[in-house]
Amino acid sequence: MSDQASIGFLLHPGEQVAAQAAIARARACGFEAWTALEDPEGAMREHGASTALLVTLGGDGTFLYGARLAAPLGIPVVGVNRGRLGFLNDVEIDALPGAISRFAAGDYTTQRRALLEISIHDADEPVLAINEIVVRARDVNVVRLRVDVDDDLLGAFDADGVVVATATGSTAYALSAGGPPVDPRVRAVVVVPLAAHAVISRPVVIPEQLDVRVTVERGRVFVAADGRSVAWLADGGSVVIRPGPELEVVRFADSPSFNSRLRQKFRYGIPHRDLLFEPVDDDLPSAQGGTRGTS
């Protein structure tokens, strides 16, 4: 295997043609280029030691997959949006060749993102999640889940489940369940009870360098990491969610900020009608042909 630094391209099916210009640019900048489509884990094992950058080409799901592969190896990642929402991806496909050139020239910064990990008894390695770990009832039944943070009781919830999300994942399932959006530069984890019966059971933000144990006191649940079901638990079973490896996300001077993404992707803080808050002119003619305030 060559010692030359390489750039890997993790492709969503159907994106092979779209990646060609970027692959050519990577080679022109002195990198080897490799692609992963059918067997990304095998490709990472083969090329990971020489990889200077992993480019994920697809939607947020492709980025999440690439992040879980790259973070344990310390490989920076840049996401290219080819999906519908693309909240996690900084680069559009037409700008990708230029982004490769900027990376080669060192014209970039990196932003750290925390991952979570859980240990599964029959797995050789911890299961990683960059968005969230979900412990949820298997059907429509209510379960009782005890949540401890560093062996200190946070609460016992009669609920559909609990979401434990990173700051990155705060804008995914956790947000849909009523949790707050958290800037990924904040070292925090969000714990969100799902449809809890207690009215005052609200999401809680805690430091990310803590262990969260979720114990099933009543019911049967599944455990999912970034949407992938990884285990089942019944009465007395528990899972410990720990800080995992950190991911480096490549960003450029014109990469969108977290606040701008909230506005652009979710329309956060944007009035439904721009005229709603404009002052009213009392001299405007009324619908009856007169002026407001007159008969």
- In 145-226, which residue ranges form alpha helices assigned H by DSSP? 173-176
Q: Is 152 found in the same domain as 96?
A: no
Task: Please tell me the predicted confidence (pLDDT) of residue 25.
Answer: 97
> Are the CB atoms for 168 and 145 separated by under 8 Å?
no
Which pTM does this prediction carry? 0.87
Per-residue model confidence (pLDDT) at position 291? 37
| Neighbour order of strands in the sheet with 161-166 | 204-207, 188-194, 161-166, 132-137, 221-225, 228-233
Q: What is the pLDDT, as a whole number, of residue 2?
A: 53
Query: Whole domain around residue 208: which residue ranges?
Result: 116-244
Residues 140 and 70 in one domain: no
Is 235 found in the same domain as 189?
yes
pLDDT of the chain along its 295 residues, tens only? 456 899 999 998 888 999 999 999 999 999 999 999 889 999 999 999 999 999 999 988 999 999 999 999 999 999 998 866 678 888 999 999 999 999 999 999 999 999 999 998 777 889 999 999 999 998 888 999 999 999 999 999 999 999 999 999 999 999 999 999 999 999 999 999 999 998 788 999 999 999 999 999 999 999 999 999 999 999 999 999 999 999 999 999 999 999 998 998 888 888 876 545 555 554 544 444 443 333 3
Whether residue 1 is contained in a domain is answered as no
Query: Is the same domain home to 51 and 72?
Result: yes
Domain harbouring 218, CATH code: 2.60.200.30
Residues constituting the chain = 295
Residue type, 59: G
Could you say which of 3, 39, 60, 158 is catalytic? 60
Number of helices and strands (H, E) in the chain? 6, 17
pLDDT at position 278 is 56
Closest CA to 177 of 197, 155, 161, 188: 161
Residues 103 and 140 in one domain: no
Q: Are residues 229 and 256 in the same domain?
A: no
The count of domains in the chain is: 2
pLDDT at residue 199 in the model:
78
Residues 210 and 260 in one domain: no
Look at residue 291 and tell me if it is in a domain.
no
233 and 258 fall within a common domain: no
Q: Where are the beta strands (DSSP E) in 195-275?
A: 204-207, 212-218, 221-225, 228-233, 238-251
* 36 within 8 A of 82, measured Cβ to Cβ: no
Nearest-angstrom CA–CA distance, 248 and 90: 13
| Residues 98 and 150 grouped into a single domain | no
- Please indicate, yes or no, whether residues 131 and 238 belong to a single structural domain of this protein: yes
Same domain, 127 and 197: yes
> Is residue 60 annotated as part of the catalytic site, yes or no?
yes
Residue 24 belongs to some domain of the structure: yes
CA distances from 209 to 144, 166, 244, 268 (A): 25, 11, 9, 29
Both 11 and 94 in one domain: the answer is yes
Q: How far apart are CA 216 and CA 134, in angstroms?
A: 13
Contact criterion met (CB below 8 Å) for 158 and 142:
yes
* Strand 32-36 relative to strand 6-11, pairing: parallel
